[in-house]
């Protein structure tokens, strides 16, 4: 096969590309995250319980996991820019259908379609970052992109919830379609063709996938990301329903926690990214995980509290739990070889989505509704999340040790 010539990326444009990728991640995160604080509204409007609501969240993840594996057929064979634009177009269609869904079943189907393209976007975004940004600056780049979760919480989610409060939850998804159109146009105009990863002699996807799943370092990374994401999504989808039903928080107050929590998370995400580059991804990951146990236990065991305490506790939870992903992704981004990075990242995010979806689904069975509508069993989900966090630290240590050995071997052949 003739290799397509790569259009060199101007280092001066690196930050521009990172911010566009962050904008794409922002749109994807708003679409995904806004469903969870809409939980109380959807459960009432669609007349569904914890299991059905959990399926709305997990269906997105399961679809993304399956799509990520399918995407492996194309991840390292085509210009990443073209794949990015195609995935954004599919994401727009899926989100539009969410905004037009009249029932639980149609919304479930629309969430699955959106999840397919969201799953592809996840792998693409981090593959492109790994292609464009050297490892010594990648923690900062990951911090910027991962801070899109915070920006989504500060701007997208509160605005989306306000739209739902004052009109209808369908309009929240139509709002996401509107601003994603501008991101699509910017991506088409600004990004260069990204083809450096293309191989002169491409092996078959089946063979490459077999190599991926027989590589111990890769398998360990997949287990790691599944545990990290699973520990988060045992709890995150039910934070808002629990706040309304057990903590005495009004539905129209939820957006303020996402606003305040998101503002703080923007600051901590940049800080965590910088510290990750300075002290190393493993140390930073372990520190954040152990600190995150405090808000996890406090939140999952809380009863009725004041709105001020809820804001503080929710913000503490958001900054620490979401902050885990910055050193986590920085650590695993150095595991694959360049020629396998697209496929690795695709599979990695498929496993991440599968871990999130599985634990969301499991959480739907752990948590139940009491006679008066309160949620029961959330404390057990908290204990389970802490246990998964402890195991993830052990695996992160193993990955870090292997990477140091690999770097020393390369430095002293």
138-183: per-residue pLDDT in tens?
667 766 776 666 677 677 777 888 888 888 888 989 989 998 999 9
Q: Measured between alpha carbons, how far is 258 from 262 in angstroms, rounded to an integer?
A: 6
At residue 16, the pLDDT reads: 80
pLDDT band at 312; cut points 50, 70, 90: very high
**pLDDT recorded at residue 294:** 96
Answer whether residue 413 shows pLDDT above 60: no
- Looking at per-residue pLDDT, the higher value among 73 and 220 belongs to 220
- pTM of the model as a whole: 0.73
Q: Quick check: 7 pLDDT over 50? A: no
| Residue 31, pLDDT score | 87
Q: Please, which pLDDT band fits residue 356 given cuts at 50, 70 and 90? A: confident
- What share of the chain has pLDDT > 70, as a percent? 84
Give the per-residue pLDDT at 11. Answer: 56
- Residue 311 binned pLDDT confidence (cut-offs 50, 70, 90): very high
Q: What is the CATH number of the domain that holds 384?
A: 1.20.1250.20
Q: Which residue has the higher pLDDT, 371 or 90?
A: 90
Q: Is residue 339 pLDDT above 90, yes or no?
A: no
Q: What is the pLDDT of residue 367?
A: 87
Q: Please indicate, yes or no, if residue 4 is contained in any of the structural domains.
A: no
Name the average pLDDT for the chain. 82
The pLDDT of residue 267 is 83
**Is position 3 within any domain?**
no
Of residues 124 and 331, more confidence is placed in 331
The pLDDT tens digits of the residues spanning 117-130 come to 887 887 788 777 77
Joined together, the tokens standing for residue 373 give 């509508």
Burial of 394 (0-12, 13-18, 19+ CB in 10 A): exposed
- pLDDT at position 4: 36
Of 353, 358, 395, the C-alpha closest to 234 is 358
169 falls within a domain? yes
User: Is the pLDDT reported for residue 244 higher than 50?
Assistant: yes
- 5 within domain boundaries: no
Q: Which residue has the higher pLDDT, 31 or 389?
A: 389
Task: Name the range with the highest mean pLDDT among 145-159, 196-210, 395-409.
Answer: 395-409
pLDDT digits (tens, 9 = 90+) for 89-148: 999 999 999 989 888 889 999 999 998 888 788 778 877 777 777 766 666 776 677 666
pLDDT at 313: 94
Q: What is the domain count for the chain? A: 1
Could you list the residue range(s) of the whole structural domain that residue 276 is in? 11-192+200-411
* Per-residue model confidence (pLDDT) at position 3: 38
293: in domain: yes
Per DSSP, what are the bridge partners of residue 376? 368
On whether residue 223 sits in a domain, the answer given is yes
Whether the per-residue pLDDT at 383 is higher than 90: the answer is: yes
Higher pLDDT, 412 or 195: 195
Instruction: Answer yes or no: are the C-beta atoms of 241 and 41 closer than 8 Å.
Output: no
| Region 338-351 average pLDDT | 74
- Residue pair 335/250 in contact (Cβ under 8 Å)? The answer is no
Give the range among 1-5, 39-43, 318-322, 375-379 with minimum mean pLDDT. 1-5
Confidence check: pLDDT of 184 > 70: yes
User: How confident is the model over 249-300, as pLDDT tens digits?
Assistant: 988 888 888 888 878 887 888 888 889 889 989 999 999 999 999 999 999 9
User: CA 57, 318, 225: angle at the middle one, nearest 5?
Assistant: 60
* Range with lowest mean pLDDT among 190-204, 279-293, 298-312, 352-366: 190-204
């Amino acid at each position: 096969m003739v290799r397509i010539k790569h259009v060199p990326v101007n280092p001066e444009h690196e930050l521009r590309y990172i911010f566009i990728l962050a904008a794409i991640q922002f749109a994807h995160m708003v679409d995904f995250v806004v469903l969870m604080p809409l939980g109380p509204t959807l459960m009432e409007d669609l007349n569904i319980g914890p299991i059905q609501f959990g399926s709305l969240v997990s269906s997105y993840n399961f679809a993304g996991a399956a799509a990520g594996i399918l995407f492996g057929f194309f991840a390292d064979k085509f210009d990443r820019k073209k794949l990015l634009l195609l995935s954004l177009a599919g994401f727009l269609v899926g989100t539009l259908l969410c905004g037009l869904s009249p029932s639980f079943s149609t919304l479930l189907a629309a969430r699955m379609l959106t999840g397919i393209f969201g799953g592809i976007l996840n792998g693409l975004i981090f593959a492109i970052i790994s292609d464009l940004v050297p490892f010594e600056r990648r923690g900062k780049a990951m911090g910027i992109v991962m801070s899109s979760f915070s920006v989504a919480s500060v701007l997208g989610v509160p605005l989306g919830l306000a739209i739902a409060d004052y009109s209808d939850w369908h309009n929240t998804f139509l709002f996401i379609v509107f601003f994603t159109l501008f991101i699509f146009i910017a991506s088409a105009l600004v990004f260069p063709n990204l083809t450096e990863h293309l191989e002169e002699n491409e092996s078959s996807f089946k063979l490459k996938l077999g190599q991926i799943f027989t590589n111990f370092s890769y398998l360990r990374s997949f287990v790691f990301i599944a545990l990290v994401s699973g520990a988060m999504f045992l709890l995150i989808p039910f934070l808002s329903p629990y706040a309304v039903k057990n903590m005495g928080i009004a539905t129209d107050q939820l957006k303020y926690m996402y606003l305040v929590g998101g503002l703080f998370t923007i600051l901590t995400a940049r800080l965590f990214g910088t510290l990750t580059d300075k002290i190393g991804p493993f140390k930073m990951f372990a520190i954040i995980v152990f600190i995150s146990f405090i808000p996890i236990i406090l939140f999952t065991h809380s009863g009725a509290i004041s709105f001020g305490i809820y804001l503080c506790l929710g913000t503490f939870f958001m900054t620490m739990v979401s902050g885990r992903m910055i050193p986590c992704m920085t650590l695993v981004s150095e595991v694959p070889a360049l020629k396998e990075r697209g496929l690795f990242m695709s599979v990695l995010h498929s496993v991440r989505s599968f871990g999130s979806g599985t634990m969301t689904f499991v959480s739907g069975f752990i948590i139940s509704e009491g006679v008066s509508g309160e949620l029961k069993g959330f404390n057990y989900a908290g204990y389970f999340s802490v246990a998964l966090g402890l195991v993830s630290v052990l695996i992160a240590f193993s990955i870090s040790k292997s990477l140091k050995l690999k770097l020393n071997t390369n430095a002293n052949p």
